[in-house]
Amino acid sequence: MEKEEDEFVRGVGFKNYKNELELLSEEKKKDSDCNVATEHGQALSPLSAKTMTTNMHNSRDKKMTVLRPSVPFHIPTIPRPQDEFNIFVNNTNQPFEHVWLQRSEDGSRVMHPLEKLSESDFIDQNVGSIEPVKPPPIENTPFKLVEDVKELKQLAAKLHSVNEFAVDLEHNKYRSFQGLTCLMQISTRAEDYVVDTLKLRVYVGPYLREVFKDPSKRKVMHGADQDIKWLQRDFGIYICNMFDTQQVCLVPLEL
């Protein structure tokens, strides 16, 4: 009997509390409608205020409609690159394991593969005498999309024959927690290349690793902080003799 009375009291209390909230909400709504003013400080009638509020909501909805992307964030029918190209991706929340690294003689630490090189081995001693070379017009620059091993081998041979080349990577996390390097852009003085690093993922390192670590060849990049990590993680590529144009922009120069 006491239990039934307690439940009844709680039910009545809840209804009273709900009624009080609804009453308070109605009062605030009335005050808000009556206090809406124009830019000149003149009060609006509740009907005018309601019309203004509706117009504001419609305007906001139009803006949101314009900004909404036309392509959904995830389309199930698009295959993941991991499945399309048989790419193994370690998505654990742990730092990646470096490959091709040796330990020091006492075994206490891992050595960088280019650790024995000195800065003097690849820095130009007479930089001031170098004349800038203007690039050819883009319409006169050959372009090659590298999509198979044969074309990648030809690109590696070309890079071995030049003294410098520019590099840029594109990376995304659309279908992977850690992300994937999806393409590599390489430019020499005379040609432009784009490498499909999804299709050629397992071949990029073996064919391009040597030329990237060659201290006699200058690699020009811009904002290479993440690119360095992606090259090491996805392809086991380490860079020696790199010139980062973004870092140069941060150095005060006397003109």
| Residue 53, domain extent | 2-67
Most confident of 72-86, 122-136, 187-201: 187-201
Same domain flag for 116 and 30: no
pLDDT higher for 107 or 58?
A: 107
* Boundary of a domain, candidates 67, 98, 113: 67
Cα 234 → chain centroid: 15
Averaged over 61-73, what is the pLDDT? Answer: 55
Confidence of residue 203 (pLDDT cuts 50, 70, 90): very high
The domain that contains 219 carries what CATH number?
Answer: 3.30.420.10
Name the pLDDT band for 5 (thresholds 50, 70, 90): very low
State which of 16, 35, 67 marks the end of a domain. Answer: 67
Rounded mean pLDDT of the chain?
A: 76
Q: 130 vs 223, which has greater pLDDT? A: 223
Domain-embedded: residue 166: yes
Confidence of residue 46 (pLDDT cuts 50, 70, 90): low
Spatial CB neighbours of 251, under 8 Å, sequence gap ≥ 6: none
Whether 219 and 161 map to the same domain: the answer is yes
Q: Are residues 33 and 143 in the same domain?
A: no
Strands (E) across 80-224 are located at 102-103, 110-111, 143-146, 164-172, 180-187, 192-196, 218-221
Which residue would you say has higher pLDDT here, 115 or 41?
A: 115
Same domain, residue pair 109 and 163: yes
pLDDT of res. 19: 56
Question: Taking Cα atoms as reference points, which of 42, 246, 46, 79 lies closest to residue 174?
Answer: 79
Q: In the structure encoding, which two tokens stand for residue 241, read together?
A: 């003799």
Collapsed DSSP state (helix, strand, coil) of residue 225: helix
Q: In terms of DSSP H, where are the helices of 72-178?
A: 81-84, 149-160
Please state the rounded mean pLDDT for residues 187-205. 95
Number of domains forming the structure of the chain: 2
173 contact partners, CB below 8 Å, separation of at least 6? 179, 180
The span from the CA of 147 to the CA of 153, in Å, is 11
Contacts of residue 126, defined as CB under 8 A and 6 or more positions apart, other chains included, come to none
Give the pLDDT of residue 83. 80
Structure tokens at 60: 């906001």
Pinpoint the alpha helices (H) of 68-197.
81-84, 149-160
Does 106 or 201 have the greater pLDDT score? 201
In three-state secondary structure terms, 39 is coil
Residues of the chain above pLDDT 90, percent: 35
- How many angstroms separate the CA atoms of 3 and 132, rounded? 92
Tokens, residue 33 = 């409608």
Residue holding tokens 């090259």? 231
The pLDDT of residue 88: 79
Which residues, at least 6 apart from 82, have a Cβ–Cβ distance to it below 8 Å?
Answer: 88, 89, 175, 176, 180
pTM: 0.62
Is the model's pLDDT at 33 over the cut of 80? no
Q: Which amino acid is residue 207, in one-letter code?
A: Y
User: Are 120 and 224 in the same domain?
Assistant: yes
Residues 159 and 228 in one domain: yes
Of 17-26, 176-185, 210-219, the poorest mean pLDDT is in 17-26
Under the banding of pLDDT at 50, 70 and 90, the label for residue 79 is confident
